[in-house]
Structure formats: structure tokens, C-alpha cells
Amino acid sequence: MTEPAIQIRDLRVTFGGVVRAVDGVDLTLHQGEVVALIGESGSGKSVTLRSLMRLHPPRRSRVEGSITVAGRDVLAMSERQLADYRGATVSMIFQEPLLALDPVYTVGEQIAEVIRRHEKASRAEARARALELFQKVRIPSPERRLDAYPHEMSGGMRQRAMIALALACRPKVLLADEPTTALDATVQIQILLLLRELQREFGLSIVFVTHDLGAAVEVADRIAVMYAGRIVEEGSARDLIRDPRHPYTIGLLKSRAEGALAKGSRLDAIPGSPPDLAHLPPGCPFAPRCPLAIEPCRADRPPPIPIGPGHAARCIRTDVSPGLLARHPEPAPA
């Protein structure tokens, strides 16, 4: 078997010495695989993603553990090595392309700049490559759009331009941080399908961060659910949707308003709110909100419990948790 595209071992990221944003994440991504990291704000999904490119300010953050991308130790790289690594091996797309793109250069210039920074290419060659990329991401009238400034493009178009920019130097790994969250529904599905298509064509490995389970299922082979800085459940998209075992995953699935529900019925909401990352409880961080929590849950952090091939959950009650799926919320008071 070939070496994995990404290997993260016991990643810990602390901000300001107290906030444990990522608290022991292990994740392996094979070549050509798409993994979605899902979770709510503060779950550590974006922090994990940014660590893969070492985007955290070194003065205010401490990153421990190991990160290997395409066989290279990311945490050991010098600034110079990092600059070569970013964009060429790994690149990233963001939620808000208007903030990620430079407003004073045309998108064509920005793409050409990336190509010329990493490879020997003349201006004309770089522009030709940029045009080719614009065709790949299906921007209409690409020749003309290369000379557009970011503000002259629509939201969907800008996101396509940012994907073109990210793929300019044929990276092996694409990191996507909520790339469709700011887009309209009819545009979101177009971008999800585009990512899926480009992934196949380029054999990309993608880490896709989202809070939207639906978007994750549309693109990902595997899904990792994060809560309070840890991956609490990981498995194939099918396992996670059909046979979720962690009470948090089950809670997320059940709290969704979906399909036809009887009028006046209530959603099965998860009670409480996520824990304060500066004061994590000693045991399972989900225990205070969990309907199945028992004494041992509050004492020790649960290890990953294997459930099936490639499917594991950090929960000591996975034997009884499927019962939660069937339980219905109390009927609304008459």
C-alpha cells in the first residue's frame, strides 16, 4: 500500500496556554480519499485543518504531535520549506473567497503569480495555464473573466476562481474550509459537484471541513465527527449515516429538521451547549449533555472503540447507543 497522503498523530493545539482547541486528534487520509471533518463552532475542525498548513501564529499557539503530509514532516519545516510546500503540495480554499482573494489584482494575475512562484514559467505560459484552469472549473467566458477583479464576480464564480487558484500547481492535497457555507443553495450543489469531479480528475486527497452533514455526505468517502477538540466518531459516510454510534452523532442526526414532520411537533434537540475549551471536564466532554452518561463516562476520557472496519467511536456505551436512534421526542403539549 502506498504511503498515506496525510497522517496526523496525537495533534494538540493550544491557544494562549489554556484553550485546548485540538486535544489529541489522529487522522489518516489515503491518497485520493475525501474526508469530511464535521462539527460545531469550537469543535476544533478548522484548527485541525489550519495546522496541516501551519497557519497558526507561532507566538500565540502551541502545536504538538506529528503531522506528515505526502511523507514530509510539516511541523519540522523551516519557513522557506513551508513557503514551497504551501500551494505546491497542499493548498486551501476558504469560506469567503472575497476575503481570501486579493482585491487589487485580477484573478488571472493571482493565478499566474502562484504558478510563477512555484514553477519556471513565462508570463504567457502562466496565463495559458490559468485559462486552462478556468475552463476546468467551468467559469463561463473564461478568457474575459481572467481579467476580472474579485468584486466583479458573483459568489459562485469567485469560489470557482479560488478553486482554480488552489489547483494551479497541481497539489496532492486540497484543504477546504467550509467552501460552500456562504453560497446559495443552488450554487452550493454546483460547487460540491465540481469538487467531486476535480477530485476524480486530479486524484486529489481532500479534507473538507463543514458543519453541514448534508454537504459532507455529498462529497466525502469518510466522515469524522469532532466535538471539543477530538474526533468522537469516524467511519465511512454510509456507516455514519446508517449506523451512528456516538450519542453526539446520533443527536446531530436526530435534531435535523428534515422531510415532512407533523405540524407542531418538536425537534429532538441536544440539550445544553458545548463545553468551555479552557475548562474541559475530566471525563468525556459530551457527558454533561449525553442521555446515556454513566459514572465511568465522567471519570475518564473514552478511547476510540472499534465498531466495524474503519468505524470507531469514542464512547464506552456504543453497545446501547443505537437505541437512541429509535427514541422519539416527547409529543408537544396539547
Partner 1 sequence: MIPEDRGGPAQPLLTVKGLLKHFPVKKGLFGGASAKVRAVDGIDFEVLKGETLGVVGESGCGKSTTARLLLSLIDPTAGEIVFDGERVGSRALSLKEFRRQCQMVFQDSYSSLNPRLTIEASIAFAPQVHGVPRKEAVGRARDLLARVGLEPRRFAERYPHELSGGQRQRVNIARALALQPRLVILDEAVSALDKSVEAQVLNLLLDLKEEFGLTYIFISHDLNVVRFISDRVMVMYLGKVAEIGGSEEVFERAQHPYTAALLSSMPSLDPDNRTEVAPLAGDPPNPIDPPPGCRFHTRCALVEPVCSAKEPPLAATEGSHRAACLAVQPGSGHSLAPAATSVELAA
Does position 185 bind partner 1 by CB under 8 A? Answer: yes
The maximal CA–CA distance of the chain, rounded, in angstroms, is 73
CA distance 109 to 102: 10
Report whether 91 contacts 170 (CB < 8 A). no
**Binding characters for partner 1, 42-81, by CB under 8 A (x = yes):** ----------------------------------------
Window 210-229: residues binding partner 1 (CB under 8 A)? 211-215, 217-218
Of 6, 94, 36, the closest CA to residue 225 belongs to 36
Interface pick for partner 1 out of 155, 281, 288, 291 (rule CB under 8 A): 155
Q: In this chain, which stretch among 97-105, 170-178, 257-265, 309-317 interacts with partner 1, using CB under 8 A? A: 257-265
In the complex with partner 1, the residue whose CB is nearer, 53 or 220, is: 220
Q: Check: CB of residue 301 under 8 Å from CB of residue 232.
A: no
Q: Distance from CA of residue 164 to its chain's centroid?
A: 19
Q: Is 238 in the site for partner 1 (CB under 8 A)?
A: yes
294 belongs to the binding site for partner 1 (CB under 8 A): no
Please report whether residue 237 would count as binding partner 1 according to CB under 8 A: yes
Distances 272 to 34, 116, 192 between C-alpha atoms, Å: 32, 51, 32
Binding residue for partner 1, selected from 76, 99, 193, 278, defined by CB under 8 A: 193
Residue for cell digits 504567457?
A: 124
Taking CB under 8 A as the binding criterion, the range among 16-24, 27-35, 114-122, 251-259 that sits at the site for partner 1 is 251-259
Which of 171, 229, 274, 275: binder of partner 1 (CB under 8 A)? 274
Position 330 contacts partner 1 (CB under 8 A):
no
Q: Which stretch binds partner 1 (CB under 8 A): 1-9, 55-63, 84-92, 182-190?
A: 182-190
Which element (helix H / strand E) includes 224? strand 222-227
Verify binding: residue 154, partner 1, rule CB under 8 A. Answer: yes
Question: Given the rule CB under 8 A, which of 85-93, 154-162, 170-178, 311-319 is the region that contacts partner 1?
Answer: 154-162
Kindly report the backbone phi and psi dihedral angles of residue 266, in degrees, each rounded to the nearest multiple of 5, phi listed first: -100, 155
105 beta partners: none
On whether the CB atoms of residues 198 and 136 are closer than 8 A, the answer is: yes
Q: Give the H or E element holding residue 191.
A: helix 185-202
- Residue 148 is a binding residue for partner 1 (CB under 8 A): no
Q: Taking Cα atoms as reference points, which of 177, 226, 225 lies closest to residue 55?
A: 177
Task: Kindly give the pairing relationship between strand 61-69 and strand 34-38.
Answer: unpaired
The residue among 61 and 249 lying less far from partner 1, judged by its C-beta, is 249
Asked if 273 interacts with partner 1 (CB under 8 A), we say yes
- Work out whether 104 is an interface residue with partner 1 (CB under 8 A): no
CA distance 245 to 233: 8
Closest contact distance (angstroms) between CB of 189 and partner 1 is: 4
**Planar angle of CA 148, 199, 52, nearest 5 degrees:** 85
Among 37, 111, 270, 316, binds partner 1 (CB under 8 A): 270
- Under DSSP, the state recorded for 75 is G
Q: Would you tell me which residues interact with partner 1 (CB under 8 A)?
A: 40-41, 140, 154-157, 184-190, 192-193, 211-215, 217-218, 236-238, 241-242, 251-252, 255-261, 263-264, 266-271, 273-274, 332
